[in-house]
């Protein structure tokens, strides 16, 4: 049984099964809603572009502005393919301009300040913008600076790799892995203690590196260790966690639990970890894959829009995990990585969050109850080696949410690898246009 039609459409498009007609976004209203509402969307990434495309179709007379300085658009799910030596960086780069929907004003500046009480956003050039409705889609901030001695500039030096910072950082990470493969020694893979976008990426990097090392026929030349800040946990869904831990054991990956990366001394190739008893453990390496702590951008975490209490206080956007509406400012909605909710930091999550926010905004503008609920859907092909992957799809409560009867979510397959390598990128671009 195919379970959820909206979820299915993303994967169907990626599988090339969807006919062109079925790729058209479902029209929620027979006719566009007439309104003079002023909508500001912060962040012209996956979520921002996608919701802009949909609202531009649904509303007539509204002023819709998309705020974001970045000229390039990056297809981030391709970064692991670059860092695994399989794609060139140019494959994931396009122009923001190319994805802008008609009728949406692109304000080519970053937001620097946010006053939700005054309903105003301050731009880098000093301009103040007023809004009636705000959509926050600013993604994640990579906090390399929270690791003592570490900065993104070090990626590509002293055996340091990190897939996250940019397509170029991913490419140089691949080069670092090549150098390590040539020289041998010890590789360290890390995981951060914060929520992170694509929680599978640290694991994917470990598995594709193992494939590259095993291909030399001299696996004994390499000591590969994985450091997790958690207790016996490297992934939030028990089935995949157990699978990965078992596979690490089979592939002779040394597992260090309760080791949180706190710093790096790059010249001496030493990493520092805080252990469960509060002591510091120093570990030398020849290659290290650094996963930075992540948070919402400072703009959000230093604003009243951030969670005020609990584990996400001052770190992530406070929204209701189902409606994605702000819990204290009803004219604010959140999409994507910035949201302080359990799960939901993948492009596939954005695919489900965008129609949720779209429907809820249409209802909000008509003073109706918000009808749509996001179920936490999160998905990524969990790469388990070059040429194989499992389609991990899950939601709130770590419930598995498989989309297809013919893809076993608990089995590795070449078909899921092909989906990752060839089919998800066109589906992602269709999402930016609001087509799926």
Residues engaged in binding ligand FAD (CB under 6 A): 42-48, 67-68, 70, 76-77, 79-80, 110-111, 137-139, 163-164, 197-198, 201, 297, 299, 336-338, 345-348, 350, 380-381
User: Min. distance of Cβ 270 from ligand FAD in angstroms?
Assistant: 25
Q: Is 246 exposed, middle or buried (0-12, 13-18, 19+ CB in 10 A)?
A: exposed
User: Min. distance of Cβ 97 from ligand FAD in angstroms?
Assistant: 13
Instruction: Compare residues 224 and 357 and give the one whose CB is closer to ligand FAD.
Output: 357
User: Min. distance of Cβ 109 from ligand FAD in angstroms?
Assistant: 8
The residues that bridge with 399 in the sheet, in sequence order, are 395
Q: Which tokens hold the place of 396?
A: 């709130």
Instruction: Compare residues 156 and 269 and give the one whose CB is closer to ligand FAD.
Output: 156
Instruction: Compare residues 35 and 378 and give the one whose CB is closer to ligand FAD.
Output: 378
Q: How far apart are CA 208 and CA 213, in angstroms?
A: 9
Which residue, judged by CB position, is nearest to ligand FAD in the bound state?
45
Instruction: Compare residues 348 and 361 and give the one whose CB is closer to ligand FAD.
Output: 348
User: Min. distance of Cβ 198 from ligand FAD in angstroms?
Assistant: 3
User: Min. distance of Cβ 78 from ligand FAD in angstroms?
Assistant: 8
User: Min. distance of Cβ 230 from ligand FAD in angstroms?
Assistant: 20
User: Min. distance of Cβ 381 from ligand FAD in angstroms?
Assistant: 6
CA-to-CA dists, residue 147 to 186, 234, 292, angstroms: 21, 20, 8
Instruction: Compare residues 269 and 354 and give the one whose CB is closer to ligand FAD.
Output: 354
Instruction: Compare residues 191 and 380 and give the one whose CB is closer to ligand FAD.
Output: 380
User: Min. distance of Cβ 10 from ligand FAD in angstroms?
Assistant: 9
Instruction: Compare residues 139 and 434 and give the one whose CB is closer to ligand FAD.
Output: 139
Instruction: Compare residues 135 and 186 and give the one whose CB is closer to ligand FAD.
Output: 135
């Amino acid at each position: 049984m195919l379970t959820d039609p909206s979820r299915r459409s993303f994967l169907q498009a990626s599988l090339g099964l969807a006919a062109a007609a079925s790729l058209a976004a479902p029209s929620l209203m027979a006719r566009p809603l007439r309104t003079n509402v002023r909508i500001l969307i912060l962040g012209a990434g996956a979520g921002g572009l996608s919701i802009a495309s949909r609202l531009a179709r649904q509303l007539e007379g509204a002023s819709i502005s998309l705020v974001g300085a970045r000229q390039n658009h990056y297809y981030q799910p391709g970064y692991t393919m670059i860092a695994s030596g399989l794609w060139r960086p140019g494959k994931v780069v396009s122009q923001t301009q190319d994805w802008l929907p008609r009728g949406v004003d692109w304000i080519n500046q970053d937001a620097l300040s946010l006053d939700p009480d005054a309903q105003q956003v301050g731009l880098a050039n000093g301009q103040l913008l007023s809004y009636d409705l705000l959509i926050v889609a600013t993604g994640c901030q990579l906090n390399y600076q929270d690791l003592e001695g570490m900065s993104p500039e070090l990626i590509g030096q002293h055996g340091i790799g990190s897939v996250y910072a940019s397509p170029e950082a991913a490419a140089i990470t691949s080069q670092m892995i090549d150098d390590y493969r040539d020289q041998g020694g010890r590789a360290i893979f890390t995981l951060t203690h914060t929520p992170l976008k694509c929680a599978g990426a640290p694991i994917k990097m470990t598995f594709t590196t193992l494939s590259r090392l095993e291909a030399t026929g001299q696996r004994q030349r390499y000591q590969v260790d994985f450091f997790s800040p958690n207790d016996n946990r490297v992934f939030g869904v028990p089935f995949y966690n157990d699978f990965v831990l078992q596979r690490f054991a089979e592939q002779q990956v040394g597992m260090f639990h309760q080791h949180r990366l706190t710093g790096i001394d790059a010249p001496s190739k030493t990493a520092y970890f805080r252990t469960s008893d509060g002591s510091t453990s120093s570990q030398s390496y020849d290659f290290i894959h650094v996963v930075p702590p992540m948070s919402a951008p400072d703009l959000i975490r230093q604003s009243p829009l951030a969670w005020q209490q609990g584990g996400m206080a001052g770190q992530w956007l406070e929204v209701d995990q189902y409606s994605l509406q702000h819990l204290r400012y009803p004219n604010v909605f959140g999409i994507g990585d910035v949201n302080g909710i359990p799960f939901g930091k993948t492009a596939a999550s954005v695919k489900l969050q965008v129609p949720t926010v779209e429907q809820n905004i249409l209802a909000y503008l008509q003073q109706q109850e918000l009808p749509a609920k996001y179920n936490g859907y999160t998905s990524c092909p969990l790469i388990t080696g070059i040429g194989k992957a499992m389609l991990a799809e899950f939601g709130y409560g770590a419930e598995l949410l498989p989309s297809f009867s013919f893809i076993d979510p608990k089995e590795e397959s070449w078909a899921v690898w092909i989906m990752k390598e060839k089919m998800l990128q066109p589906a992602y671009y269709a999402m930016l246009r609001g087509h799926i």
